[in-house]
């Protein structure tokens, strides 16, 4: 299955190395448009939302193809839930609603 608009993804970029977790808006020849947060902020973000504290919102991002190292769909496995499932379990809210 190919990654499409609306899918939850993890994006790894190079130069500099960064990781994003978010929802794809569009995949174009020039790059990927998505609404995302830095992956390293995920735990703090979930805790802030669950506790009703202020938090940084997801932002609209554009990742040019020359920076894109890897893009994977956020999927659960037998041993680990997806990031979206972890978010929903920890906050009681749907990931796409934030």
State the sign of the Cα–Cα–Cα–Cα dihedral 17, 4, 34, 44: negative
* pLDDT bracket for residue 96 (50, 70, 90): confident
Assess contact for 21 and 10: CB atoms under 8 A.
Answer: yes
Segment 23-43, tens digit of pLDDT: 999 999 999 999 999 999 999
Helix extents (H) in 1-98 = 42-50, 83-91
pLDDT at residue 60, as a whole number: 97
Domain ranges of the chain: 8-90
Mean per-residue pLDDT, 88-95: 94
pLDDT cut 90: percent of the chain above it: 93
Q: Which CATH number fits domain 8-90: 1.10.260, 2.30.30, 1.10.150, 1.10.10?
A: 2.30.30
């Amino acid at each position: 299955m190919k990654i499409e608009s609306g899918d939850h993804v993890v994006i790894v970029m190079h130069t500099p190395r960064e990781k994003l977790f978010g929802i794809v808006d569009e995949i174009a020849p020039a790059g990927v448009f998505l609404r995302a947060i830095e992956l390293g902020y995920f735990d703090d973000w979930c805790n802030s939302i669950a506790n009703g504290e202020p938090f940084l919102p997801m932002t609209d991002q554009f990742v040019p193809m020359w920076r894109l190292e890897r893009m994977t769909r956020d999927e659960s496995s037998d041993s680990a839930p997806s990031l979206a499932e972890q978010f929903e379990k920890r906050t009681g809210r749907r990931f796409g609603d934030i």
